[in-house]
Structure 1
Amino acid sequence: MTTTPETPEIPDAPGVRGTAEVQDRTGPLSRSFPGSLRPARVLPGAQVSERAAVGDGTTVWELAQIREEAVLGEECVIGRGAYIGTGVRVGARSKVQNHALVYEPAQLGEGVFIGPAVVLTNDRNPRAVAADGSPKRAGDWEPVGVRVGRGASLGARAVCVAPVRIGRWAMVAAGAVVTADVPDFALVVGVPARRIGWVGRSGERLRALGPGSWECPRTGERYEEAEAPDGSVTLRDARP
């Protein structure tokens, strides 16, 4: 089998210059951000740090919270009550649905879908107190992140237990608990999540053409199984 790289595409979020438009019942109000080219929409009740960057055409809905140094790319949608942690990067045209929790230092590639109430964790050994009973503080632990590759989708109430990588165009089923890396184009379900098939860029489950060869029933795109650097099986385009 052919070896193919497993590195996710997490590009810098483009288009973060200008002003954001904060809407209220009487009309739009202008609010500056470090860098947006044209207005983004920030709905009333949303909390967006002055030290966050919001990309062109992005919408942040009510009760969402965007923390310091977070970067949202162009044309993103951040749903009601969602949380984007300090320094998190969200690629262009991504959607983070209502009440999803994206804790730092998560990184999302372009075109990522984070479903309602999804949680991306950041603590290997969560405790409220230290071994001596004293309250744990920020300096007492080191955050670890979830990396989500370009085009991947996480269904409602899925949980990713950091540190894990979700591959490009992968599909995580609703309610799944991800405790290990997910290959590109993989369809994973369950607790803990396990691969049950492959999906294409359209999100449709692929049909088998032969050993290691797959086709999207919607688009006709073809894919081939390949060996990843760690020896696991992943999928790649069959295009020349």
Structure 2
Amino acid sequence: MTTDAGAGAVRALWIAPSADVDPRAVLGAGSTVADRAQVREFARVGPGCTVGYAAYLGPGVILGRQCTVQDFALLYEPTLLEERVHVGPGAVFTNDRFPRAVSPIGRLKTTADWDLVGVTVRTGASIGANTVCVAPLTIGRWAVVADGSVVTADVPEYALMDGTPARRVHWVGQSGARLDRVGPDLFRCPVTGALYGEHNGALRPLGIAPR
């Protein structure tokens, strides 16, 4: 295992004694890896991340700066989390379109038989507890996926997703709060006062509203 200090990192890396971290993984300064977590070969964990109890990061999985992967979450390769992503406890990121134990001729499958596909989560997005993200898909910046959802398609930026399969039920701001509609295609965050505009099914920040 090697360490990556990263720009501006100040805290030391901490790994619980019972964690299983492959020596070929790279972990950033200020990150913590809890008991019984497993970080596989060539995984990269950015500075200031938290990997929870019994969480799993598959080979080559990448976490950007200040990501949180909570207890029992399973992130199979080739998952990519950008910066400041939150993954709730028990979430599962899949990587196989056609899961089978054996090949068509009855031979037990190995990793060499898989056509791996991944889940990409953009900056600031939050994935709720016990959510299943069915690869391949991309979850947009600052989106929120509600607990227990099953995500089967790409998620727009700032979308609040819920259900099985998950559908957009509202918009959220960077704070994570549901936005208030204040005009045609215009929304305001109740926490920060930031304004957002909707156009053609997409949401974009417009700035801070005067108070």
CA distance in 2, matches of 1:102, 1:234: 28
- Where do 1:26-175 residues align within 5 Å? 33-37=1-5, 39-175=12-148
Residue 186 of structure 2 is aligned to residue 213 of structure 1: yes
Counterpart of 2:174? 201
Match of 1:239 among 190, 207, 210: 207
Whole-angstrom CA distance in 1 between matches of 2:51 and 2:106: 37
Q: Percent identity?
A: 50
8 Å contact 2:3–2:29 — kept in the other structure? no
Unaligned runs of 5+ in 1: 1-32, 228-232
Q: Aligned-pair distance for 1:210?
A: 1.4
Q: Distance in 2 between matches of 1:137 and 1:89?
A: 23
Q: What's the CA shift string for 1:192-234, capped at 9, x where partnerless?
A: 000000000111000101121111001000111134xxxxx22
Q: How many residues align?
A: 203
The residue type paired with residue 97 of structure 1 is Q
Counterpart of 2:112 in 1: which secondary structure? helix
Q: How far did residue 47 of structure 1 move?
A: 0.5
Question: Of the two structures, which has the highest relative contact order with CA contacts closer than 8 Å and spacing of 6 or more?
Answer: 1
- What is the alpha-carbon distance in structure 2 between the residues aligned to residue 108 and residue 147 of structure 1? 6
CA-to-aligned-CA distance 1:87-122 (integer Å, 9 cap, x gap): 111011110000000000010010000000000000
Whole-Å separation in 2 of the counterparts to 1:212 and 1:86? 43
Q: Secondary structure at the match of 1:139?
A: helix
1:11-45, Cα deviation, whole Å (9 max, x unpaired): xxxxxxxxxxxxxxxxxxxxxx3233363000011
What are the Cα deviations for residues 128-185 of structure 1, in whole angstroms up to 9, with x where unaligned?
0111111011111211000001000011000000001100000000000000000000
TM-score (norm 2): 0.93
Contact 2:4–2:47 under 8 Å retained in 1: no
- Runs of at least 4 residues off by over 4 Å: none
- TM-score, length basis structure 1: 0.82
Secondary structure, aligned partner of 1:238: strand
* Whole-angstrom CA distance in 1 between matches of 2:68 and 2:172: 19
Question: For residue 8 of structure 2, what is the aligned residue in structure 1?
Answer: none
Matches within 5 A, 1:2-41: 33-37=1-5, 39-41=12-14
**Counterpart of 1:44 in structure 2: which amino acid?**
P
